Structure 1
Amino acid sequence: MTTPPEKLPTLSGSVPPVREWARTFAIGLCMGSADAVPGVSGGTIALIAGIYGRLIAMINALTPDRIITFLRSLTPLDGGFDFRGALYVFDEIDGWFGLALVAGVGTAVVLVTRAVHVLNESYPTLLFGFFFGLIAASAVVLLRELTVGSAFQAVAGVVGFAIAFLLSGPVAFLESGGLAVIFVAGAVAVSAMILPGISGSLLLVILGQYTFMSDTLSRFIDGLIAAVSGGSTATLVDDAVLVVTFIAGGLVGLFTVSRVVRRSLDRNRRATMTFLVALVVGALRAPIQEVGSEVGFSPDVVVAFAGAALVGAVFLLILDWYAVDLDLDSV
């Protein structure tokens, strides 16, 4: 960590202008909305918005040493509180940028998961048909940029497809849930959020936790509102445990799994991307499995599912056409 300069920053000199905050918050809203929907990647939105490099730099700057120094500066240890020293570390990790971005992402996730919760209860066929279209179109976009040039790369693709396809079906230990599954799901989903083309929510769908966590978060928000307004809070504690476990897993994933993926990309970029893209293709089983288990397929259901899938596919292809040409070699 860099040695603090003799002249430490002040709060007024550290806080960015309101316009910059608003722009970062808006980008966070777009990233959160994208990552809350399977098939669309928040990392791609960051790439489009021109903040991807800054986002990766911020994550890499969050080292254990800096975190410990920051926390110690805000406690009466080592000679008392050192607010300006803490502010210096906060500036080193681009904390104001991260704070505004996380606020935007969090707000979007809450809003989108609320919509998913309502749609899953009323229109599951249309919801998962739309997701199928998003995932299918995302797979097409990614496969278009992928070339397989070695046997190892081909094996990585087969393994990725097999893992996603098998986990997208009925899996006993995933269906049983439990805090361990929720923790791992959070770690995997959040680590994927920073990869262009790979959706964190898609991995939740593969793990069978997407609708469960959407419903849980919606109930948790309802419970918080009820606690303030004097309503029923019967499930608040149980839901809070699940949400906190997921967030804790996400934080661990951000500092562990995401860095493992980054090192894998650095060592063998093409094989790693082939594995990740194959996950997307294998995940196409998940929406079909959800509709089959919840509703069952009849001619009317098939038509509705296919129509919603077409809408989802067209939406993502239009986004890809007007947004950015994704170059997997730049990830």
Structure 2
Amino acid sequence: MGAADVVPGVSGGTIAFITGIYEELINSIKSIDWTAIKLLFSLKINAFWRKINGSFLFSVLCGIGISIFSLARLMTYLLKYHPIEIWSFFFGLIIASSFLVAKEIRKWDIFTVISLIAGGIAAYTITVLSPASTPQTWWFIMLSGAIAICAMILPGISGAFILLLMGQYAYIMAAVSSLNLGIISVFAIGAIIGIISFSHILSWLLKNYHSLTVAMLTGFMVGSLNKVWPWKITLETYVDQHGVRQALTEQNVLPRSIEGDPLIAQAIIMCLAGFFLIWGVEKIGKKMSRKN
């Protein structure tokens, strides 16, 4: 999940889904409620830990943290110097993920198909929106945190990309770089409120409308393929907190429209590598489930 979250346009929620921990993750986050908080402040640590499925959440958070700090620099390098190959890899990864997630749909009917299409349209629309100019007030920073963290646990939607759309990405990154604790705290409060609230909604939907919800999540993943198409041309740029010019809006094009070598063979190989990596992870997950 951490490796996915450091890539613009790729969601950690996608990885959670294909590795089979998505519903447990949502339900564990949902369990952080007033009862859990009372247990914590009553110093009933063991009861609090069991209530929130602490061992599971701790493992996931440690994995995300280790991966982000160890892979962020590598992913930045690959996206800068090998963009076609790395985007092709994630294109194959998401295609495979979409198939595997769709297999979890228990019932196909007209409503399931509509939910699938709606999810795809929603994700595609998000990927083609232009970043907006928004206020940098405390309430909007908190709202940005709440929306971005919800996107991070949705398969196919990138929280970093949502921040970019809301016009807050550079501002929040600058606050993190300068350790502006005021802005970071407001953003973190919004993120905590957002993920706990949203986890309740997702948990309820998965429990009561499992097929419709999974179909919509599958649609999110399919719709997000627009964001990870390997061949792009930059239309607008922006300057990040380090003074480096970055792509702001891009347009997908066919390989022949790319100046220089479009690296079609390398792209196909990396796309297949991403596809079979997810296929392999799913097979390993099934074997481990049978052993357990």
Match of 2:115, SS? helix
Q: Give the counterpart of 1:67 among 37, 40, 45.
A: 37
**Over aligned residues, Cα RMSD in angstroms?**
4.0
**Maintained 8 Å contact 1:189/1:250:** no
2:111 is matched with 152
**Maintained 8 Å contact 2:84/2:230:** no
**Maintained 8 Å contact 2:88/2:270:** yes
1:228 is matched with none
- Indicate yes or no: 2:262 matched with 1:301: yes
2:149 is matched with 186
CA offsets, 1:60-92, max 9 Å, x none?
A: 432213314523x4xxxxxxxxx5x45554454
Evaluate the alpha carbon distance shift between residue 289 and residue 169 of structure 1 in structure 2; reply closer, same or farther with a 3 A threshold. Answer: farther
**Equivalent residue runs for 1:40-55 within 5 Å:** 40-45=14-19, 47=21, 53=24
2:91 is matched with 132
CA offsets, 1:162-202, max 9 Å, x none?
A: 001111113333x8796344541113314x4xxxxx36xx4
Match of 2:108, SS? coil
**Maintained 8 Å contact 2:120/2:222:** yes
Q: Give the Å deviation of 1:104.
A: 3.3
1:267 is matched with 208
Q: Which has the larger radius of gyration?
A: 1
TM-score of the two chains, using structure 1 as the length reference: 0.61
Q: Give the Å deviation of 1:218.
A: 11
Match of 1:237, SS? coil
**Which region of structure 1 is more displaced relative to structure 2, 95-104 or 308-317?**
95-104
Evaluate the alpha carbon distance shift between residue 94 and residue 321 of structure 1 in structure 2; reply closer, same or farther with a 3 A threshold. Answer: closer
**Separation in 1, partners of 2:233, 2:127:** 12
Q: Give the Å deviation of 1:107.
A: 2.0
Evaluate the alpha carbon distance shift between residue 246 and residue 277 of structure 1 in structure 2; reply closer, same or farther with a 3 A threshold. Answer: farther
2:75 is matched with 116
TM-score of the two chains, using structure 2 as the length reference: 0.68
Q: Alignment identity in percent?
A: 17
1:278 is matched with 219
**Separation in 1, partners of 2:112, 2:74:** 39
Evaluate the alpha carbon distance shift between residue 320 and residue 35 of structure 1 in structure 2; reply closer, same or farther with a 3 A threshold. Answer: farther
Q: Give the counterpart of 2:62 among 103, 119, 125.
A: 103
**Separation in 2, partners of 1:203, 1:185:** 8
**Maintained 8 Å contact 1:188/1:250:** no
Q: Give the counterpart of 2:162 among 182, 207, 216.
A: 207
**Separation in 1, partners of 2:160, 2:210:** 25
Q: Give the Å deviation of 1:246.
A: 5.5
Evaluate the alpha carbon distance shift between residue 272 and residue 88 of structure 1 in structure 2; reply closer, same or farther with a 3 A threshold. Answer: closer
Evaluate the alpha carbon distance shift between residue 272 and residue 284 of structure 1 in structure 2; reply closer, same or farther with a 3 A threshold. Answer: same
- Indicate yes or no: 2:255 matched with 1:255: no
**Maintained 8 Å contact 1:168/1:205:** no
Which blocks of at least 5 consecutive residues in structure 2 are unaligned? 235-246
Evaluate the alpha carbon distance shift between residue 177 and residue 120 of structure 1 in structure 2; reply closer, same or farther with a 3 A threshold. Answer: farther
Kindly indicate which of the two structures has a greater share of residues assigned to strand.
2
The count of residues paired between Structure 1 and Structure 2 equals 256
**Separation in 2, partners of 1:113, 1:248:** 24
**Maintained 8 Å contact 2:95/2:222:** yes
Q: Give the Å deviation of 1:130.
A: 1.6
Q: Give the Å deviation of 1:262.
A: 1.2
Kindly indicate which of the two structures has a greater share of residues assigned to helix.
1
**Which region of structure 1 is more displaced relative to structure 2, 85-94 or 61-70?**
85-94
CA offsets, 1:248-285, max 9 Å, x none?
A: 44422331111101111222111111111111111100
Match of 2:232, SS? helix
Which blocks of at least 5 consecutive residues in structure 1 are unaligned? 1-30, 74-82, 193-197, 221-234
